[in-house]
Amino acid sequence: MSKTSLTLEDLGWSAFFQQQLTLEQVEAFHAARVFAIQRTHITLMTDSGAVDVNLSGRWYQLEVEDRPTVGDWVLIAPTAQTIVCVLERKSLLKRLSPGQTGEIQLIAANVDTLFLVTSCNAEFSARRLERYLALAYDAGVQPVVVLTKADLAKDPDSFVEEVRKVRTDLVVELVNAREEESVDSLRVWCGPGETVALLGSSGVGKSTLVNTLSAAEVQLTREIRDDDAKGRHTTSHRSLHMLPDGGLVLDSPGMRELAIAEVAGGVRRMFDDVEALAAQCRFSDCKHDTEPGCLVRRAIDSGELDEGRLASYLKLRREEAHNTDSIAERHPRVRDRAKMTRRVQPTPPKRGQ
């Protein structure tokens, strides 16, 4: 930022958040945005500057989705510098946590645009891109596919064509992440108060993009391996950064796997063409295999629909349903307790207490 002082609007504050506050809360608390979460503390940004706070034990008794994550707006008690509550989010990006925990992992909150970053090399995967898009659509966030390393590819336009096969209406930007002029096309989504998040595998150039957009080295970078076009994690935790022109950009560690859960709406949106055909099948429980009157199979036979797209749709739908059911079965007590907690609104203390 070029100016010396910040406003809440600079940090992404809007009427959506303001209208959630009571007069008592406005008088008693300060609004702050979560800029980073590390093992020992959370970094908040207010209109007065950065504040580091610890989460009390009560937060860890709540369901994961009720805890603060990067991008959240929270209210803090000015004297004790403790988080009082998390404001309602206008968007939330999440995935199934890696490993065997069977929990939801929060990626980012209150994001306006999601840059889905992938490379013009062997790292590119249309199937992975479908998963990222399901997350964006379910959260109601504008997805932009950013193809990096265009300067190293023999035929970068062929990767744009592959993206178009995933969905014809996608916004696609072809860039060299190291060149400021090349990434200027991305700045239209980085206006004052706008929040952009970057998602993608390790080594695709997310941190380099953040540095170029910021005109400063705010994130460490590491070269990709030449033998398999894969990279190693350079970003160790999710964090927000303010851009010179007033926007905010959120970088995150590369994802080796992206298991989806609780994003059924996003999967339907991702494959809305298949969904439209399936709705016209003769049988409501059609498996789109050998059933008579299957409009989906008819579209495949006529060349209107690709067989691989149907296979991907069925796979993601099964995975999403299975993972969502597993979460519900493993954590019924936690979820019930979280629902009870949400029904009780904290009463702000009177000024001076």
Instruction: List the Cα angle 27/32/33 in 5-degree steps.
Output: 155
- CB-based contacts of 12, cutoff 8 Å, min separation 6: 33, 73, 110, 193, 194, 195, 248
Q: Which residues make up the CATH 1.10.40.50 domain(s) of the chain?
A: 264-335
3 state SS of 311: helix
Cβ neighbour number for residue 179 with a 10 Å cutoff? 12
Fold for the domain defined by 9-90:
OB fold (Dihydrolipoamide Acetyltransferase, E2P) (2.40.50)
Q: Which residues make up the CATH 2.40.50.140 domain(s) of the chain?
A: 9-90
The interaxial angle of helices 307-330 and 295-302, nearest 10 deg, is 140
Cβ neighbour number for residue 196 with a 10 Å cutoff? 28
Q: Which residues make up the CATH 3.40.50.300 domain(s) of the chain?
A: 92-251
pLDDT in tens, 237-251: 789 999 998 899 998
The interaxial angle of helices 307-330 and 126-139, nearest 10 deg, is 50
Q: Residues 145, 170: contact at Cβ < 8 Å?
A: yes
- What backbone phi and psi angles, to 5 degrees, belong to 229? 60, 25
**Range 92-251: architecture per CATH:** 3-Layer(aba) Sandwich (3.40)
Residue 67 has which token pair?
């805890």
Residue 290 has which token pair?
């050998």
Sign of CA dihedral 296, 300, 302, 306: positive
Tell me the chain's radius of gyration from C-alpha atoms. Answer: 22
pLDDT at site 187: 95
At 272, the amino acid letter reads: D
Q: Which CATH number describes the domain made up of 264-335?
A: 1.10.40.50
The whole-angstrom separation of Cα 258 and Cα 121 is 20
pLDDT at site 55: 84
> Is the whole model's pTM more than 0.95, yes or no?
no
Greatest Cα-to-Cα distance within the chain, rounded to the nearest angstrom: 73
Q: What is the mean pLDDT of each run of 10 residues along the chain (353 residues)?
A: 74 97 95 90 92 86 92 90 93 86 88 97 94 96 97 95 96 96 95 95 91 78 48 62 92 82 96 95 90 93 94 95 87 52 44 39
